[in-house]
Amino acid sequence: MTNSAPAPALVELTAVNKHYGALHVLQEINLRVAKGEVLVVIGPSGSGKSTLCRTINRLETIDTGSISIDGKELPKEGKALARLRADVGMVFQSFNLFAHKTILENVTLGPIKVKGMSKPDADKLALGLLERVGVGHQASKLPAQLSGGQQQRVAIARALAMKPKVMLFDEPTSALDPEMINEVLDVMVELAKEGMTMVVVTHEMGFARKAADRVIFMADGQIVEESSPEDFFTNPQTPRAKDFLSKILTNG
C-alpha cells in the first residue's frame, strides 16, 4: 500500500455487461463514485440508466464484470447480499411503500427486522426522519392516504432509516405531479448538502445543477459523456447528448 494510491471508491463498477435477450443493455460500464459524491445519471429512455442504478444493489443481476460497495464485491445472493443491501438505500420511481403498513411502520420495518433495533428506538428514529422530510404528522396513516410527493418523501425516510452508505434514486420524481416535484427535490438537495453519497437517475436539470458533482450521460447502454453539470448542460460534447438536451430543453 502506497500513499499515492487513490482512495477506494464507495461504489465501483468494472467492465459491467448485461443483456436482456438480444439487447445489450449495459456495455462495458466502468464507473466510480467517491464517498460524498452526488452523481446524476441522465439519458433517453432505454439507455440503460435505470438498469445501471438497479445493478448497484443487485435488484438486477449482471452478466459479466464486477460491482463493489465500499471495497466489498456484491455477494451473489442470500444473507450476505441482504446485509449489503441494508447499506444501500433505494428510492423507486413508483415509491413502493408497503401498502399494508402505516407510514411509521414503513420506516421502522428495516431497523427492527434487519438491524434488530427495539421498537421504541426505531419509532423515535423514524419519527425524527419523518419530521425531517416534512411528513411527521402523517405517521399513523396508510400510504394510499398520502399524496405522491408525500409518499416519495416517506420512501426517502425509509431508506435513510437504515443509515445507508449510499443512496440510489431511480427516477424519483418521474411519477409525480409537477407541483409535487420540488418538495421531493428539496429533500434530496438537503441530503446532498449533508454529504450523502448519491446516485440519481433523473431528468431534473435543476437538481443536477444545484446538487450534482458530476453528470454522466448514457445512451444505448454506454456512458457517452461525463462532465460537470454546468459543462454538460451548456456545452455538451457529443451529438447524441446535444440531440437529447435540445429535446428536453424545448419540452421542459
Beta strands in the chain (DSSP E): 11-20, 23-33, 38-42, 64-69, 72-73, 88-91, 166-170, 197-201, 214-219, 222-227
Should residue 163 be labelled a site residue for other proteins when binding is judged by CB under 8 A?
no
User: Residues 166-178, buried b or exposed e (16+ Cβ, 10 A)?
Assistant: bbbbbbbbeebee
Q: Which of 9, 26, 159, 192 binds other proteins (CB under 8 A)?
A: 159
Minimum distance from CB of 170 to other proteins (Å)?
10
Which CB, 5 or 100, lies closer to other proteins? Answer: 100
The reply to whether 83 sits near other proteins by the rule CB under 8 A is yes
Q: Is 113 in the site for other proteins (CB under 8 A)?
A: yes
Phi and psi at residue 81, to the nearest 5°? -65, -45
Is 97 near other proteins (CB under 8 A)? Answer: yes
The residue among 7 and 144 lying less far from other proteins, judged by its C-beta, is 144
Nearer to other proteins, 57 or 150 (CB): 57
Strands, sheet with 38-42, edge to edge from the N-terminal-most edge strand: 88-91, 166-170, 197-201, 38-42, 214-219, 222-227
The reply on whether position 77 binds other proteins by CB under 8 A is yes
Q: Nearest distance from residue 91's CB to other proteins, in Å? A: 9
* Min dist. Cβ of residue 100 to other proteins (A): 5
Instruction: Tell me if 114 sits within 8 A of 162, measured CB to CB.
Output: yes
Residue 205's identity, in one-letter code, is M
Binding of other proteins by 144 (CB under 8 A): yes
Cβ pair 168, 88 in contact under 8 A: yes
| Site residues, other proteins (CB under 8 A) | 57, 59, 77-79, 82-90, 92, 94, 96-100, 109-110, 113-114, 142, 144-145, 155, 158-159, 161-162
